[in-house]
Amino acid sequence: MSNVSDLENRLGRALDRIAKSAMALRAAKSDETPDLEALRSQLDAERAKNAQLSERVNAVRQRQESSFATLERRLARMTEQLDLQSLEMLRLKKANTKLIEANRKLREGSEAQVIEPSAINRSLVAELEALRAERAAEAAELEDVLGELTPVLSREESNA
């Protein structure tokens, strides 16, 4: 029977050790719980900040894309206007060259005291072409100015 009582004693001591270990684990777990909760709340806060930053980045990206598209449209319009002005300037140069040549022939005829009616006619036609080309160049320039003023006026009307 001493064997049984020894076994009971050993079993009792083992159960006591198990109980102490369980109590120690509970205490450790209760100590870790506030830290775990604090970490979870910090993680949630960081996730919220990350979401806000992602929204801001998306908003900035959209504004950039919108600005870029606006600048591309403006560049295309300005390129078109520059091409139109270049054509008008070329036309003006050609007309002025014709006018200079017609006036030279008219002057030579005047010096020789032989003025041909066709020379006078060519001179007047060249002058008329030069005036038309100059008017077209001015109209193209005015169109450029109006093209730049239109967006400004639209913004002013929308702000009013």
Q: What is the dihedral of CA 49, 55, 56, 62, to 10 degrees?
A: 170
Number of Cβ within 10 Å of residue 143's Cβ equals 13
Q: Which residue has the tokens 């003025």?
A: 115
How many angstroms separate the CA atoms of 158 and 160, rounded? 6
pLDDT in tens, 134-160: 888 888 888 888 888 888 788 878 876
Find, among 84, 68, 90, the residue nearest to 142 by Cα: 84
pLDDT tens for the chain, 160 residues: list them: 577 788 788 888 888 888 888 888 877 766 655 677 888 888 899 999 999 999 999 999 999 999 999 899 889 988 888 888 888 888 888 888 888 888 888 888 878 887 787 878 888 888 888 888 888 888 888 888 888 888 878 887 887 6
pTM for this entry: 0.48
